[in-house]
A = this chain, B = another copy of it.
Amino acid sequence: MIVRDFHELKKTDKAVADARWTSVRMLLADDGMGFSFHITTLEAGSEHQFHYKHHFESVYCISGKGSITDLGTGETHEIRPGVMYALNLNDKHIVRAEEDLVMACVFNPPVTGTEVHREDGSYAPAGETTS
């Protein structure tokens, strides 16, 4: 059994940050669960474009307020506590945080922890580290 505490991990290298977001990796590929699990905080007032071409991701809102726009359909959905979105079509999207958004995120295949967001908003497939 693995037991970890977000409040401890966020002081370690399991917390990664980019422009106006922080992600604490609670479970990564090498934990062998077959998915990774992250607690990600998007800063109030920020906007982010992501496109996970090689991963499915689900995102559950624990706290905060914002919206997501599906760039494929143009539809925008409100994000508030209890709302989940799942990128089952590797959907290209924009997330906006009106308040700090705290989200529980699951990735399949699991993130290894060494990926960086590429210019197109994607993570590379596992084993490929350059764009």
Contact = CB atoms under 8 A, between A and B. Distances in A.
B86 A31 contact: yes
Contacts of A37: 58, 60, 84, 86, 106
A113 to B, nearest CB: 15
Q: Is the interface of A mostly helix, strand, loop or mixed?
A: strand
A56 interface: yes
Contact of A1 (B3, B39, B70): B70
Contacts of A35: 34-35, 58, 106, 108
Interface of A: 1-7, 26-27, 31-35, 37, 39, 56, 58, 60, 62, 68, 70, 72-73, 75, 77, 82-89, 91, 93, 104, 106, 108
